[in-house]
């Protein structure tokens, strides 16, 4: 059984290979009679023809592959969602995702970038897992590229939502911080602590800003004494919460930088005999179900839209590649972070 190709289909339909190719890809300005088109389609289907991608790629110089290169895929629980989003977008447009990983190691990154170029992917998604600001590697400079959960170090593209630089998508940290805090102010809380960490990343500053904005919007005075930063994520939540809650005028609610720190806050509260949400309301960030559903009471948390970001990045990249509309497309997106309500917030 000889592998069946376009040639066999042509024979079966009684037309030339050219015509078969034309109808199968319906090329824009190739004229083929409706009747012949039918015949070809039928023949193709009858023979169960599937195109040979390598031959096609060889001719068209496009592989239909998108490289997804990420920093620390193994150490973050979100990785799957980011990747799945991108994969689905790619899939829907007939692209495939091929995986690369830098492991946060410049040497590995070098190697992977090399691999990435000689696999001849059509475009690349450069992903970081924790909303980092990155400077895009030289090797990717002149390629179709989009940044995923990362923003470019050179602010050149920042000035507008349109055109220019490389597209990127990140969570809207400040809106997220605002959402979390508003949930607390809306429940009547007026003394709201912010338990955060000391990292200098967009997430910390953004969420803090959101916190401040929400306070202002609620007519509350920002009190620096209510925000505690700790350097450890595993211990920090506990330490900071403990510190805040032992004060005389303890806050009635805590906004925690992430669920891990919220977990520590829960422990601090338990040790001090404070019930959640009766004596203390808590909202977390990240919506890691391992934690949010594991805690008691279940933790209200702001979710990071990992899937959506991945999906957007994928779509954005194929847009660039397929170049359907040359119209200056949106180039930067901060994606909203929805609040998922559970049982850790109550009216004051």
Partner DNA sequence: ACGTTTCCCCAAAACGTTTTGGGTAGCATC
Partner DNA sequence: GATGCTACCCAAAACGTTTTGGGGAAACGT
15 vs 195, which CB is nearer to DNA? Answer: 15
Binder among 7, 111, 162, 247 for DNA (CB under 7 A) = 7
Nearest-approach distance from CB 321 to DNA, in angstroms: 14
Binder among 185, 288, 331, 334 for a second copy (CB under 8 A) = 288
Distance CA 70, CA 310 (A): 12
93 lines the binding site for DNA (CB under 7 A): no
Residue 324 CA: distances (Å) to CA of 14, 84, 142, 169, 321: 34, 24, 20, 21, 8
**Chain residues 137-166 in contact with DNA, contact rule CB under 7 A:** none
264 lines the binding site for a second copy (CB under 8 A): yes
- Mode of pairing for the β-strands spanning 281-286 and 300-303: parallel
Element (H, E) at 212: helix 202-217
CB atoms within 10 A of CB 125: 30
Q: Please report, in angstroms and rounded to a whole number, the separation of the first and last CA atoms in the chain.
A: 76
54 lines the binding site for a second copy (CB under 8 A): yes
With CB under 5 to 8 Å by kind, the binding choice for 79 among DNA, a second copy, none is a second copy
Residue 106 CA: distances (Å) to CA of 103, 111, 112, 137, 210: 8, 9, 10, 10, 34
DSSP-based three-state secondary structure for 345:
coil
260 lines the binding site for a second copy (CB under 8 A): yes
Nearest-approach distance from CB 127 to a second copy, in angstroms: 12
What residue ranges bind a second copy (CB under 8 A)? 50-55, 57-58, 63-65, 68, 73-77, 79-81, 83-84, 87-88, 91, 96-101, 103, 111-112, 115, 117-120, 234, 238, 259-260, 263-264, 267, 270, 288, 290-291, 293-296, 298, 307
């Amino acid at each position: 059984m000889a592998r069946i190709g376009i040639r066999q289909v042509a024979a079966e339909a009684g037309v030339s290979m050219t015509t078969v190719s034309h109808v199968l890809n319906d090329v824009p300005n190739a004229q083929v009679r409706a009747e012949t088109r039918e015949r070809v389609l039928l023949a193709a289907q009858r023979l169960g023809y599937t195109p040979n991608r390598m031959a096609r790629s060889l001719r068209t110089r496009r592989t239909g592959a998108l490289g997804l290169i990420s920093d620390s895929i193994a150490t973050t629980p979100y990785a799957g969602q980011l990747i799945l989003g991108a994969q689905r977008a790619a899939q829907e447009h007939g692209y495939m995702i091929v995986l690369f990983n830098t492991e946060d190691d410049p040497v590995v990154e070098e190697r992977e970038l090399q691999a990435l170029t000689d696999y001849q992917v059509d475009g690349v998604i450069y992903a970081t897992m924790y909303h980092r600001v990155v400077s895009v590697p030289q090797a990717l400079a002149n390629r179709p590229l989009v940044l995923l959960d990362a923003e470019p170090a050179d602010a050149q593209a920042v000035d507008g939502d349109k055109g220019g630089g490389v597209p990127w998508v990140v969570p809207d940290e400040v809106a997220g911080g605002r959402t979390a805090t508003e949930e607390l102010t809306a429940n009547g809380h007026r003394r709201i602590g912010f338990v955060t960490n000391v990292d200098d990343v967009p997430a910390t500053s953004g969420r803090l800003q959101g916190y401040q904005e929400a306070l202002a919007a609620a007519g509350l005075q920002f009190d620096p004494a209510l925000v505690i930063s700790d350097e450890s994520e595993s211990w920090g939540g506990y330490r900071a919460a403990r510190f805040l809650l032992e004060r005389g005028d303890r806050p009635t609610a805590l906004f925690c930088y992430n669920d891990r720190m919220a977990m520590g806050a829960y422990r601090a509260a338990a040790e001090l005999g404070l019930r959640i949400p009766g004596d203390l309301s808590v909202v977390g960030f990240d919506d890691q179900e391992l934690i949010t559903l594991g805690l008691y009471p279940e933790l209200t948390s702001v979710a990071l839209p990992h899937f959506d970001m991945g999906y957007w990045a994928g779509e954005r990249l194929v847009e660039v590649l397929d170049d359907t509309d040359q119209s200056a497309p949106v180039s930067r997106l901060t994606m909203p972070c929805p609040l998922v309500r559970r049982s850790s917030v109550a009216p004051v």
